[in-house]
Every structure is written in structure tokens, then in C-alpha cells.
Amino acid sequence: MHSVIFDNDIGIDDAMALLLLHYAESVELLAITTRFGNASITDTTCNALIMKDLFGIEAPVFQGAAASIGKRLGEGFPIHVHGENGLGDIDLPAPQSKVEALPAAEALVEVTKEHDGEAIVIAVGGLTNIAQALDLDSNFAGRVKRLIIMGGAFGYNRHSGNVSPVAEANIASDPQAADIVFRSGMTIAIVGLDVTHEIIMDRPYMQSLRECASEAGKFIASSHQYYLDFHHSLSGRFECPLHDSAAIAYLLAPDLFTTINQPVRAVTEGIAMGQTIHGDDLREYVSSAWDDVTESTICIGVDGPAVLELCRNILSKAAKIRD
């Protein structure tokens, strides 16, 4: 059983990832922590509470960072990608559930104390909450079993940045936080654009979710229409990458991914701000910037069709539960 804290900025793809965690039989969802990103902190927290209500998710919701701890790339929120409400502007009820009083960073500290060495943190937004938890408690890094990050891009499979030529959106939303996390000594796995852009959902796939996954499938398909329209404006095709859910797939089926282990840092200023760079453990560098940076596991290849089938199989359980 995987004990998971889900750290997110709930937009369209985060919502699908949350539903995968909810319906996966091998996952115990301990907590949901929110931050700004795909929408404002008010909207992302509201979205988490709405998801909790709609799908009977028991995990408590903790509100986190409203802004980055350092400079970020860009301003505002990606309304053109996720809509005004972060969930493709589909009609949503007002939430009935309430957010917990404890801030997200403090919740990360406390929940990992309760599940020392057992909690896996899956972060599918920027890493602000994680960096703040590290600042609050010097023992936090050692208590986390693993941190799985959806973020970054290293140029594998010819995939680089999506908000600059080299920067991926989540890392670019708080590069300083990302660099703190990469240098923290935590056990880290990075699921970046190198692999998420190799896992492609199209309209037939969305229709299959609508048909096999009951209300969860309808929710995913409806919210993703906005996302598909955005990607159509870029490529001329009604298809989109599987970003945040790829991190869940890595948790559940790491054998579907090809990985390397190398030290990683994030660029915090200048023209390459937000870029993720990995070193080479066979080299000795003149720069001291790589001294004592522990290795992260970096995903560089993936069986895309198998990941899509895994996601569909998990979500199909929603229909069985409803029946």
C-alpha cells in the first residue's frame, strides 16, 4: 500500500491525477495540499474541496502557498490553458467541505511525523510547499519515503520547455523552491516533459473514459475539452499530453518508465530561469555548485500506450464502485 500526500495546484490534469489516486486500490491518500499555479490559491483550494465532495474523497485538504518564495517566470495564471476556474470552466457546485486550519507546509511536516518513513509526496505543481516544509523542519526530508515530481524538462526525446525554450511550467513557477528541494537530500523521482509528451490522449481516448468510468470519466472528459482546444490551437490536433497523471503512473508502475540517476539543479535567474539541469556523476566539475547534490531519478523514456491503459483500467473502477 502506498501512503500518499498529494501536493497540487488543481487544474484540469491535476484533477485526473487526484481521481487516479482516489480509485487506485494500492493507494492510501493521506492528505491533499494545495498551492497557486494553474489558478489562484483560492480557486485551486476550492477545486480540491469540490473534488472531495463530488467523488467522496476522504483525505483532508490543506491550503498552501499563494505565491512563490523567489522570482518566478511570468505573471498571473494560465487561463488560456485551464480556464478561469482552473477546471476548463465546466459548471461546478459550491464546495460543502471545509479546508483544514493548518497551512499546507505545516501539514506536510505533521503528516510525515505521523507516517515517518512511509509517506510518499507526489507534487504536480511548483515546489513551494515542499520547500517551506523543509525550512520549517530540518528532519522533514528524512521522513519522506520518496518525493515524485511532475516537472522539469531535460531535452530527452527532443522535449524541452513549455513556458520558455528550456523551462517547464511547474518548475518555472518557483525555481528557487525547486532548487532548494533538489539540494535537500530527499529521495526524488522526476517525471518531466521528456516523458509526459510521449503519452498522448486524444478524443477517442477521452470518449473511452466517458464510457467506462462513470461520473469520473464524464468529469475528466468534460474538463479536458478546454485542454484539448488549447492544444489544438498549438498543433492543429485534438490531443494533449498526460502530465500530472504520469506521476501517478510512475508510482504504480515504475517498470513502464526508463530512468537515469543524476544530480539535478534548477536555474533561478537569467535567460534560462526555470530550467532543470542534470549533472554527470562520472565528471568532476570546476564549479562547486554541484558539490553534495544527491542524485535524483529522472524519467527519460516511457511506454505511453501502457500508461494510458493503466489509467483507463484504474478509472474504470469508478463505474464498478458506483454500480
- On the CB side of 196, CA atoms within 13 Å amount to 28
Provide the sign of the torsion angle of the four alpha carbons 23, 83, 247, 60, taken in this order. negative
Could you confirm whether 243 is annotated as catalytic? yes
Q: Tell me which of 14, 243, 244, 278 is the catalytic residue.
A: 243
Please name which of 115, 111, 117, 156 lies closest in space to residue 136, comparing C-alpha atoms: 111
The CA–CA distances, whole Å, from 156 to 160, 174, 285, 302 equal 8, 23, 22, 11
| C-alpha cell read off for 182 | 533538489
> Cell numbers at residue 233, please?
490551437
139 Cβ contact partners less than 8 Å away, ≥ 6 residues apart: none
Query: How far, in whole angstroms, is CA 259 from its chain's centroid?
Result: 18
Phi, psi of 215 (to 5 degrees): -65, -35
Kindly name the residue from 2, 7, 9, 43 that is annotated as catalytic.
Answer: 9
Residue 9 annotated in active site? yes
List residues with catalytic annotation.
9, 243
